[in-house]
Amino acid sequence: MRRKLKTPRILKIERIDGFKIYCMFSNGESKLIDFNSIFKEWDLTPNDIEYPLLKKKEFQKVKLRNYTLSWDNITVLLMTEEGTEEKFPYPTLVQLRFWIPLGLFDEAIQEPLSCKPP
């Protein structure tokens, strides 16, 4: 019988340090998600929807939505099932996992030295 793999969910943003987000996951682990390496790999240009996140002020507006990271200040225009266009917050980390090469995603999530503020 196959065992279902349960992906840990983010329960809490513990702190934000530059482009690094320290998170508490549902499996009890605290992890550091380093967006410096993700942004570097993406090689963002002004035409990319993520480009505004390169500004720390915009990046640090991250929120937790449905156990994943989201940015209300960056919106995506998507077609609904009814055929109308609607704005949604920037895709969450779970969606990003499919856009980030697996090795890079694994490198971006690390054991933090400390999740407590300095």
Query: What CATH code is carried by the domain that includes residue 86?
Result: 3.30.2020
Cβ atoms 45, 37 nearer than 8 A = no
In a domain, 5, yes or no: no
pLDDT of residue 41: 85
Tell me whether residue 2 is in a domain. no
Domain assignment of residue 3, yes or no: no
* DSSP secondary structure code for residue 115 in this structure: -
The Cα 57–Cα 18 span in angstroms is 9
Domain range enclosing 29:
10-110
For residue 87, being part of any structural domain is answered with yes
User: Can you give the pLDDT at residue 110?
Assistant: 57
pLDDT-based confidence at 38, cuts 50/70/90? confident
pTM of the entire structure? Answer: 0.68
State the pLDDT at residue 108. 53
Is 1 among the domain residues?
no
Tell me the average pLDDT of the chain: 77
Q: How confident is the model at residue 12 (pLDDT cuts 50, 70, 90)?
A: very high
Q: How many domains, in total, are found in the chain?
A: 1
55: tokens are 């500004």
Residue 97, amino acid: R
Question: Is residue 118 one of the residues assigned to a domain?
Answer: no
On whether residue 71 sits in a domain, the answer given is: yes
Evaluate if residue 69 carries a pLDDT over 80: yes
Looking at residue 100, its pLDDT comes to 43
What is the b/e burial string over 55-86, where b = at least 16 CB atoms within 10 angstroms of the residue's CB? eeeebebbebeebbbbbebbeeeeeeeeeeee
Once rounded to an integer, what is the mean pLDDT over residues 10-32? Answer: 91
Provide the token pair at 41: 């790999």
User: Distance (Å, rounded) from C-alpha 56 to C-alpha 88?
Assistant: 21
Predicted confidence (pLDDT) at residue 65 exceeds the cutoff of 60: yes
Q: In what order do the strands lie in the sheet with 85-90?
A: 63-65, 68-79, 85-90
Does residue 89 lie in a domain region? yes
